[in-house]
Amino acid sequence: MPSTPPEGEPAPADGLLPASAAEGSGERDFGVYIHVPYCRVRCGYCDFNTYTASELGGGASQAGYAAQLRRELAFGADALRRSGAADRAASTVFFGGGTPTLLPASDLAAMLAGVREEWGIAPGAEVTTEANPDSVDARYLRELAEAGFTRVSFGMQSAVPHVLATLDRTHAPERVPLVVRWAREAGLQVSLDLIYGTPGESPGDWQRSLDAALACEPDHLSAYALIVEPGTKLAARIRRGEVAEPDDDLHAEMYEAADAALAAAGLEWYEISNWSRSLETRSRHNLAYWRGADWWGAGPGAHSHVGGVRWWNVKHPRAYADRIEAGASPALAREVLSAETRRTERVLLETRIAEGLPIPVLAPEERRAIPASSPTASSTGGSRSPAPPAPPASETGASCPPCAGACWRTPWCTAYSPDGTLPGVCRVSCVCFPGASLPGARFLGA
């Protein structure tokens, strides 16, 4: 079942935000997340806020969902304006779930039209929907492209039937190449999601899934370690001894196999679980999350963030519909983040991504904890070749310590440039040279 919402202070019914949320809003990117909470079948590992037909109960209708959500979008745009936030067109829109593509393509088009009407959609915006391989066909994907979608993320998860069965996935492996081809014919970018470490999945099974995914030549690929969430069907099966618990060492082995295979195929790692064909095909919406941008999350259980204020909607579609019909905010609760909390979260999030974290964000005692050079082992356990010599003193200053040259997922750096940028390889790892890094976390010098 869906997880429990976090605690927070009551959210105001009028949706107004503190004045601090609007400060500097014109300088921050703005995105929109649309949650579609419906699934045909609940996957055994999933604790997302999703509902099958039997779980919905009365008062919650898929048929009326697009109209309800558009009313929240109108409410949200008005609330932000009344709170003093700058008018900003959405630079990214992401439809997640659940399975958004269980709804007719016309419903997704109508919700996207609501974003366009209330906020506008910036030129060149990224507009993504998640989809199951068995929830779309060629005509559906063409309709999405005609409505303004630019990208589709397919939940492939595995190419091995027994792994898909353990995960309660309903599509056949051979369906994935078909939907990828149809998406490309419609002019959509394609991302594939994989899960590794499923009980009973061997390294050979995982390699088979990687090979099948790469054969589709996706623009982007995400690979996530399976996490067994409390209260899920999978957790109950493990507790009863029906399937084995995931093995952390096997997870690490599979991650390293993925990183090697994806790099060899020309997909560049840019976040712990994400690889992309180019800068242009990275998930800009997810990068906005990791970089602390603003977004409005619409739909049951959706989370939003604007200027250090975070809030989340009521979870059940019936409760959500009741609030929308009453003209009230669907938000259940919120929290106003302190400056220290925002800084801590920035450290946690920006060290996930390839560009890393500017060292001045760290407190002085934290900066002193960064070693002058990194060890010769990556954070994933793989050994590296010996480090190259430090860059010349003329580039870094005579007091620069030896440079380890390690970014945690690529080979040791073998060349340097005055600004520390090494296109296609990594950035120099040295505390006094731009691009300092630690295994598993990247830091950019002042």
Q: Tens digit of pLDDT for each residue in 255-268?
A: 999 999 999 999 99
Q: What is the pLDDT of residue 395?
A: 35
Query: Phi and psi of 164, rounded to 5°?
Result: -60, -40
Q: What is the pLDDT of residue 132?
A: 97
Q: What is the pLDDT of residue 178?
A: 98
Q: What percent of the chain has pLDDT over 90?
A: 75
- The two beta strands, 189-196 and 220-225, are parallel
Q: Tens digit of pLDDT for each residue in 162-200?
A: 999 999 999 999 999 999 999 999 999 999 999 999 999
**353 has a pLDDT exceeding 70:** yes
Q: How many residues does the chain have?
A: 446
In this structure, of 44-58, 117-131, 159-173, the range with the lowest mean pLDDT score is 44-58
Q: Find the mean pLDDT for residues 88-93.
A: 98
Domains of the chain: 9-336 (3.20.20.70), 356-446 (no CATH)
Angle at 388 between CA 385 and CA 390, to 5 degrees: 150
**2 has a pLDDT exceeding 80:** no
**Percent of the chain as helix, strand, coil, to the nearest 5:** 35, 20, 45
**388 has a pLDDT exceeding 80:** no
Q: Find the mean pLDDT for residues 77-94.
A: 98
Q: Measured between alpha carbons, how far is residue 12 from residues 30, 77, 296 in Å?
A: 22, 16, 16
| SS3 state of residue 94 | strand
| SS3 state of residue 123 | strand
Q: What is the pLDDT of residue 59?
A: 58
In this structure, of 16-30, 191-205, 357-371, the range with the lowest mean pLDDT score is 357-371
Angle between helices 65-82 and 317-325 (to 10 degrees): 60
When comparing pLDDT for 174 and 59, which is higher?
A: 174
Half-sphere exposure for 265 (CA within 13 Å, toward CB):
23
Q: Tens digit of pLDDT for each residue in 271-280?
A: 999 999 999 9
Interacting residues of 204 by C-beta distance below 8 A, sequence separation 6+: none
Average pLDDT, the chain: 85
Q: Measured between alpha carbons, how far is residue 92 from residues 101, 124, 281, 289 in Å?
A: 18, 9, 13, 11
In this structure, of 283-292, 331-340, 370-379, the range with the lowest mean pLDDT score is 370-379
**417 has a pLDDT exceeding 50:** no
Q: What is the pLDDT of residue 3?
A: 65
Q: What is the pLDDT of residue 336?
A: 97
pLDDT tier for residue 438 given thresholds of 50, 70 and 90: very low
In this structure, of 105-114, 216-225, 420-429, the range with the lowest mean pLDDT score is 420-429
Q: In what order do the strands lie in the sheet with 441-444?
A: 357-358, 441-444, 437-438
Tell which residue, 125, 162, 124, 156, has the closest CA to residue 222: 156
**127 has a pLDDT exceeding 90:** yes
Measured between alpha carbons, how far is 145 from 135 in angstroms, rounded to an integer?
16
Q: What is the pLDDT of residue 439?
A: 33
Measured between alpha carbons, how far is 187 from 199 in angstroms, rounded to an integer?
36
Q: Find the mean pLDDT for residues 156-165.
A: 98
Q: What is the pLDDT of residue 366?
A: 85
Q: Measured between alpha carbons, how far is residue 225 from residues 82, 167, 272, 357, 389 in Å?
A: 42, 13, 11, 24, 36
Task: Give the number of other Cβ atoms within 10 Å of residue 199's Cβ.
Answer: 19
pTM of the entire predicted model:
0.83
